[in-house]
A and B are shown apart, each in its own frame.
Chain A
Amino acid sequence: MLESFLNTLAGMGVEWRLLCMQAVNFGIVAAILYYFLFRPVLKMMDARRKKIEDGLAYAEAMQKKLAEAEAREAEVLNAARKTAQEIVEKARAAATAYEESQAKETAARVEQMLAKAKEAIEMERRRQFEELKGEVSRLVVLTTGKLLSRELSAEERKSLNTRAAEELARSN
């Protein structure tokens, strides 16, 4: 059977010995290429692929971390915003309270000043009234004295003097 196959090959113009030799040569070349070219290239490609996979995994992890960091940052920012809002509200409330207290204090002061001013005006008015009263009294007394000294006759004077002497004598 082998012989018939070889004969068929020979009939097709294929020399089996040459074919065997070429096959051996091909095997040798293939082995050499496999050991010295394909294997290092494959190794290098594996390493490159691994590196790329690692890089991708790292990028993915980083992206995840970034997302986490962003989420955390947003959370922190929200908390900070909330705190800031609370502080602002507290400050606003304190400012309102302070403003109200200041307004009340100012109103009280103004009222006090008004009361004092009214009191001072009243005192001044009374003082002027008293002064005027005193002056009027003085003028009335002076005028009455002058009028009496001019109008009284000697007889009237004597009568008054006598009455005064009698009164003084009675009172002693």
Chain B
Amino acid sequence: MKQSKAQRSRTLALAGKLAVASLENGVPTLERVGAVLKFISSRPHREKLPLLVAYERLMRRREFLRTLSIERAGAVDSASRDALVAALSGTAKVPLLVSEKENPDLVAGLRVRLGDDVYDASLAGMLARLGGAAR
């Protein structure tokens, strides 16, 4: 059954509160998420699915925003890498989910993505910017 506009906004507000309640120090925990899911399953049948969908979307978005993806060409000094993760974690104000990937197209250097932000410190990126400026 399709929800009205007011119902939708109520559902979104509740899903937002549930998403915040699922976190402990910015990280979702199994217990809290379990409790939230239990709460959702206790809601009336017509609210259950839209609330679950909105909650899942918000949680996915939160996960995306705290995911740090590091692309590199070659090895990185682990101390520098940890310093970078710590600095970005301080910026995001939450513990980050770090994933690393080798990308030879970068030539050298790093390309880092945190949520919607991309920091490009690779030689390929520099050359591309240089080429763009020359044009």
A interface residues with partner B (beta carbon < 8 Å) = 130, 133-134, 136-138, 140-141, 144-145, 148-149, 152, 154, 156-158, 160-162, 164-172
CA–CA, A160 and B73, complex, Å: 10
**CB proximity of A52 to chain B, nearest CB, Å:** 118
Q: Do A154 and B110 have beta carbons less than 8 Å apart?
A: no
Residues in A neighbouring B88, C-beta threshold 8 A: 168-169, 172
Is B76 interfacial (CB 8 A cutoff)? yes
A157 touches B74 (CB 8 A): yes
Shortest Cβ distance from residue A75 to the other chain B in the assembled complex, whole angstroms: 87
Cα A167 to Cα B77 with chains together (Å): 13
Give me 10 other A-B pairs in contact (C-beta within 8 A), A137-B135, A157-B75, A160-B109 excluded.
A137-B130, A160-B123, A161-B74, A161-B76, A162-B76, A164-B109, A166-B84, A168-B87, A169-B87, A170-B87
Q: Are A169 and B135 in contact (CB under 8 A)?
A: no
**Chain B residues in the interface with A (C-beta under 8 A):** 72-77, 80-81, 83-84, 86-88, 90-91, 104, 107-110, 112, 119, 121-124, 127-128, 130-131, 134-135
Docked Cα-Cα span, A168 to B122, in Å, equals: 11
Considering the chains assembled together, what is the distance between the CA atoms of A171 and B83 in angstroms? 12
Q: Can you name the residue of chain A whose Cβ is closest to the Cβ of B123?
A: A148
Q: Which residues of B contact A144 (CB under 8 A)?
A: 127
Residue of A nearest to B72 (CB): A161
Task: Kindly list chain B residues whose C-beta atoms are within 8 Å of the C-beta of A141.
Answer: 127-128, 130-131
Question: Bound complex: CA of A107 vs CA of B41, how far in Å?
Answer: 87
Known: A145-B107, A164-B121. A154 touches B131 (CB 8 A): no
B108 touches A152 (CB 8 A): yes
B80 near A166 with CB under 8 A, answer yes
Measured between beta carbons, the chain A residues less than 8 angstroms from B135 are: 130, 133-134, 137
Complex Cα distance, B77 from A154, in Å, reads 12
Residue among B73, B75, B80, B87 having the largest count of chain A Cβ atoms under 10 Å? B80
How many whole Å from B110's CB to the nearest CB in chain A? 5
Within 8 Å by CB of B108, from A140, A160, A166, A172, lies A160
Could you say which residues of chain B place their CB within 8 Å of the CB of A157?
A: 73-75, 108
Measured between alpha carbons, how far is A140 from B72 in the docked complex, in Å?
23
9 smallest CB-CB distances across A and B, nearest first, come from A157-B74, A164-B121, A165-B80, A137-B134, A160-B108, A141-B131, A164-B109, A162-B77, A169-B87
> Do B104 and A149 touch across chains, with their CB atoms under 8 A apart?
yes
Q: Are B131 and A138 in contact (CB-based, < 8 A)?
A: yes
Residues of chain A with a CB closer than 8 A to B108's CB: 148, 152, 156-157, 160-161, 164
Contact of B90 among A145, A164, A172 (CB under 8 A): A172
Query: Which of A138, A148, A158, A166 lies in contact with B107, CB distance below 8 A?
Result: A148
In Å, the complex CA distance between A132 and B124 comes to 21
Do B91 and A172 have beta carbons less than 8 Å apart?
yes
In angstroms, Cα B104 to Cα A59, docked, is 130
A161 to B76, CA, bound (A): 5
